[in-house]
Structure 1
Amino acid sequence: METPGLVVHGEAAPFSTALRSLLNNPQYSDVCFVVGQERQEVFAHRCLLACRCNFFQRLLGPKLGPGMPSPVVLSSVPADAFLAVLEFLYANSVRLHRHSVLEVLTAAVEYGLEELRELCLEFVVKVLDVELVCEALQVAVTFGLGPLQERCIAFIETHTQAVLERPVAEVAAPVVRELRLALLAPAELSALEEQNQREPLIPVEQIVEAWKCHALRRGDAARGAPCRRRRGTLPREHHCFLDLPFK
Structure 2
Amino acid sequence: MNGSMMDEEKLMRGDQTSFYSLMRKKCINQKEFSDVTFSVGAQKQHITAHKCILAGRSEVFRSMFVQQSIHATGIVDIPYPLPDIRPEVFLTTMDYMYTNCCTLTPNLAPDVLAMAIDYGLDGLRKLCVRYMLDAITVESVCSILQSAVVHAQEEVLQKALAFIETHTKDVFVTSQFLQLSEQAVGVILRSDNLEVDELEILLAIRRWAQANQVVSGRPMGVLAAPIIRLIRLPLLSAEELSKIEEENKEEQIIPVQQMAEAWRFHALKDSVPAASKVKTRKGTESREFHKFLAN
Normalising by the smaller structure, the TM-score range is 0.5 to 0.7
SS at match of 1:33: strand
Q: Distance in 2 between matches of 1:139 and 1:80?
A: 18
Question: Partners in 2 of 1:11 and 1:20 — Cα distance?
Answer: 15
Please report how far the alpha carbon of residue 205 of structure 1 lies from its aligned counterpart in structure 2 after TM superposition.
Answer: 8.7
Relative distance call for 1:25 and 1:68 in structure 2 (3 A) is: farther
Say whether 1:6 aligns with 2:38: no
Summarize the alignment of residues 89-108 of structure 1 with structure 2, pairs less than 5 Å apart. Answer: 89-108=97-116
The answer to whether the aligner puts 1:50 opposite 2:74 as a matched pair is no
Larger gyration radius, structure 1 or structure 2:
2
TM-score by length of 2: 0.54
Q: Per-residue CA shift, 1:154-183, capped at 9, x if unaligned? A: 1111001686434998698549x98xxxxx
Distance 1:98 1:34 in 2: 25
Cα distance between partner residues in 2 of 1:169 and 1:142: 23
Which has the higher mean CA deviation after the structures are superposed, 139-148 or 159-168?
A: 159-168
Residue 197 (structure 2) pairs with residue 165 (structure 1): yes
SS in 2 for 1:94: coil
Preserved CA contact (<8 Å) 2:116 2:124: yes
Q: Kindly provide the amino acid, as one letter, of the partner of residue 61 in structure 1.
A: V
Q: Is 1:153–1:168's contact at 8 Å kept on the other side of the alignment?
A: no
Residue 91 of structure 1 deviates from its aligned partner by: 0.7
Structure 2 unaligned runs (5+)? 170-193, 213-225, 231-295
* Inter-partner Cα distance in structure 2 for 1:170 and 1:17: 52
The amino acid that maps onto 1:203 is I
AA aligned to 2:121 is L
Mapped to 2, the partners of 1:172 and 1:61 lie a distance apart of 51
Q: Where does structure 1 lack aligned partners over 5 or more consecutive residues?
A: 179-201, 207-247
Root-mean-square deviation (CA, aligned residues, Å) is 3.1
By percentage of residues, which structure has more helix? 2
Displacement of 1:131 in angstroms is 2.0
Letter in 2 for 1:86: M
Code of the residue aligned with 1:32 in structure 2: it is T
Greater mean alpha carbon deviation, residues 109-118 or residues 13-22: 13-22
In structure 1, what is the Cα distance between the partners aligned to 2:90 and 2:203?
Answer: 33
Counterpart for residue 111 of structure 1: 119
Instruction: Report the counterpart of residue 144 of structure 2 in structure 1.
Output: 136
Contact 2:37/2:80 (<8 A) preserved: yes
Q: Is the 8 A contact 1:160 1:166 kept in 2?
A: no
1:25 aligns with 2:30: yes
- Separation in 1 of the partners of 2:79 and 2:143? 31
Cα separation, 2, equivalents of 1:146 and 1:134: 15
Deviation of residue 105 (structure 1)? Answer: 1.0
Does the CA contact (< 8 Å) of 2:36 and 2:50 recur in 1? yes
Give identity over the alignment, percent. 28
- Aligned residue number for residue 76 of structure 1: 84
Q: Which residue of 2 aligns with 1:15?
A: 19
TM-score normalised over the length of structure 1: 0.64
Equivalent in the alignment of 1:229? none
Paired residue total: 182
